[in-house]
Amino acid sequence: MNLNIKTTNFDLTPDIKEYLEKKVGSIEKFLNKKDVELNSVETQIEIGRPSQHHQK
């Protein structure tokens, strides 16, 4: 399974990446096993912090 992670307004640390991979990896049991083995499944995750503009 291909995992694409996009971050906004902060850096992606190895710990955060590991956490996301663990959480997203658990959905593999709901997917077709053959598709997962062939890497034909793509997952996109976008996480971010609000900018100062939204803090007003």
- Residue 1 in contact with residue 39, Cβ under 8 Å? yes
Residue 9 forms part of a structural domain: yes
pLDDT tens for each residue of 15-55:
999 999 898 888 877 778 777 777 777 888 898 887 777 66
Residue 35 forms part of a structural domain: yes
Provide the number of structural domains found in the chain: 1
Q: Which residues make Cβ contacts (< 8 Å) with residue 20, sequence separation at least 6?
A: 3, 5, 45, 47
Residue 30 forms part of a structural domain: yes
How many Å apart are CA 27 and CA 35, to the nearest integer? Answer: 13
pTM of the predicted model, to two decimals?
0.66
Share of the chain above pLDDT 90, in %: 18
- Show the domain range for 15: 2-48
pLDDT tens for each residue of 14-26:
999 999 989 888 8
